Amino acid sequence: MKIKTKGFTLVEMLIGTALLLMLVVAIYGGFVSVINLLQLSGYKTVASQLTTEYLELARNLAYADVGLIGGVPAGLLERVQTVSRNDQDYTVTYTIRNIDDPFDGTIGGSPNDLTPADYKLVEVTVECPLCQDFLPVTVTGTIAPQGLELTTNNGALFVKVFDANGDPVSGAAVNIVNNSVTPTIDINEITNNDGIFQLVDTPPSNLSYHIDTAKSGYSSSRTYEADELGGATPVLPPATVATGTVTQISFAIDLLGILSIETVTPTCAAIGNLSFSGRGNKLIGTNPDVYKTVKTGSTDGAGQKVYSDLEWDTYDFTIDSLTYDLAGTLPLLPLSLSPGANQTLKFVLMPSAPNSLMVVVKDAISGLPLPDAEVTLSRNGSLVDTQTTNQGFFTQTDWSGGAGQDLWSVANRYYSDDGNVDTLSSPGEIKLKNDLGVYVSAGQLTSSIFDTGATSTVFYDLNFEPHDQATSTGASPVKLQLAAGNDPATTTWNFVGPDGTAGTYYDAANSSVAGSLDDNRYIRYRVYLTTADTAQTPNVAGVSLTYSSACTPYGQALFQGLSLDNYELEISKTGYQVATESINLTDDDSVVNITLSPL
């Protein structure tokens, strides 16, 4: 009898092999994970042993020797050491500080503690740079003198770091160097949550403590010697510490901003390889003035130059060109760069013609560029030329005409409100509604629709006045949002803040308009008022929005091909007093600023 045996098919063999492979990979992955966990546990055990070992090392020193080489308190310990255990390198870092315990008073306080170094705080941190998934291990202890405190005749140095709004900057790096004392001092620390680093029991020294403050992504600030500034008087000289006193020195740093400089024609065509120069307004020295930020450069072939690390400041720039005349800038100079802002400065240029005159027309109250101002240039009573400045900004300072106006035409009207605002009791102000002496807690008003006249519109800043509000009304009692579109009849008005979302708002600290609103012809704003104190109301007395259409400078007019001679300017605009100015044109390229006062 013939017996048949049945084997496995190729498909069954492949499936079986795949399942076996998956099982092996899973087992191997689990094995590797266990090995890694055991290895990490070993690293942590060694690190814990090192923290204990090095803390005890400090405790076994004489109290006077517990300190850092080149630090305050001075001592015998190195701040950073590399230690090898089981063929693995670990980094051991000491942080040692004198502590002024308030139990017996504090230096400069009441009572004044003339021996402020009550005990020492010792912190040991161990890191393993090459160990995967390893977190630093830190242990802290205190070391006190065996006997009574001794008078050291030292003082204290407090370094305070704050931002552009005056708020403390925590985690800022502080470097303090003094080569005039023995032993010399070279300290690297960070500020606490209050933006302060306190150096207690500091040796007295006159104008010798050099201090530098910085933080990743932030600007920096430091002290300067006169010889660094060519003999000018430093605004922040090295600090002095006197016996028994506290010296506090403050530094302002904040997020770095980005400024993109573009050189273009009035039709937005790029002009490449043009040189420029500029500077900020902040001084680091006086007599003579020494500016903190000075820039010189040139645009690339595409007419662009980007500065990605500029400190917040007010900047002024000039174009250095013999082949082009400046027709204006967008926005108007000087330019205020806010912390962390990303702004673009456009130089609008025209082919050079002999003896040009640029006239900048501004509102005398707000300082904003004026649209639709007629600028007439005459010589010896004869008309030379007349130009009109373009639209530069919308502003509204009165809402007493009431609601119901969709498209903006009457200056004192608006579109709608929620019934919780008052625009009548104090014409020229928006306030919360008052009911029997009690203000409602919140209200909002929506403006009419403003027409910029073109779809190729770039919006710059949304501002309101006044910025100062009663403290009791709470944080940001006045906030605004914007909505834009290209058809007032069909647009869905989605109001957004400076990041382009509905969850953020424009306030006193955030005025740069979201780029997502650009390229829209129509725009409107919404005001939100809130108060935490029903006995007080925030108020809005003015809202203004600056913008430009494509590459047309606003509030500016350029006259070219003039003779070097005496001229008369007359500037007029509806609702403003006429301004006249005599000009003696002696330079090839001249700029004159004119302010118009409202009637």
Same domain, residue pair 203 and 322: no
What type of residue is 463?
A: N
Is 559 a domain residue? no
The whole domain housing 313 covers 255-352
DSSP-derived letter for residue 255 is B
Is 125 a domain residue? no
Read off the pTM: 0.62
Same domain, residue pair 416 and 530: yes
What are 282's two structure tokens?
């902040």
From first to last of the 599 residues of the chain, give the pLDDT tens digit.
455 555 667 776 777 777 777 776 767 666 556 566 667 777 888 888 888 888 878 877 888 888 888 888 888 888 899 988 888 899 999 888 888 777 666 666 666 655 677 778 888 999 988 888 888 888 887 777 765 455 567 888 899 999 988 899 999 999 999 999 988 999 899 999 999 998 888 899 999 999 999 999 999 999 999 999 999 999 999 999 888 788 889 999 999 999 999 999 876 779 999 999 999 999 999 999 999 999 999 999 999 999 999 999 999 999 998 899 988 898 889 999 999 999 999 999 988 888 899 999 999 988 888 888 999 999 998 999 888 787 446 789 999 999 999 999 899 999 999 999 999 999 999 999 999 889 999 999 999 998 876 788 888 889 899 988 999 999 899 999 999 999 988 889 999 999 999 999 998 777 889 999 999 989 999 999 999 999 999 999 999 887 776 677 888 988 988 999 999 999 999 999 999 999 999 877 889 999 999 98
Is 224 a domain residue? yes
- Last residue of one domain, picked from the residues 508, 525, 549: 549
Total of domains in the chain: 3
User: How crowded is residue 463: how many other Cβ atoms within 10 Å of its Cβ?
Assistant: 19
CA 50 to CA 54: how far, in whole Å? 6
Same domain, residue pair 322 and 434: no
Is 487 a domain residue? yes
Same domain, residue pair 323 and 398: no
Contacts with 19 (C-beta within 8 Å, 6 or more apart), sequence order: none
Q: What are phi and psi of 210, to 5 degrees?
A: -90, 125
What are 225's two structure tokens?
């010697």
Same domain, residue pair 175 and 229: yes
DSSP-derived letter for residue 25 is H
Q: Give pLDDT tens digits for 455-493.
A: 888 888 898 999 889 999 998 999 999 999 999 888 899
Is 101 a domain residue? no
DSSP-derived letter for residue 187 is E
Which H helix or E strand runs over 20?
helix 10-59
Strand, helix or coil for residue 517? helix
pLDDT given at position 527: 97
Residue 201, domain CATH = 2.60.40.1120
Whether the bond into 204 is cis, omega within 30 of 0: no
Residue 264, domain CATH = 2.60.40.10
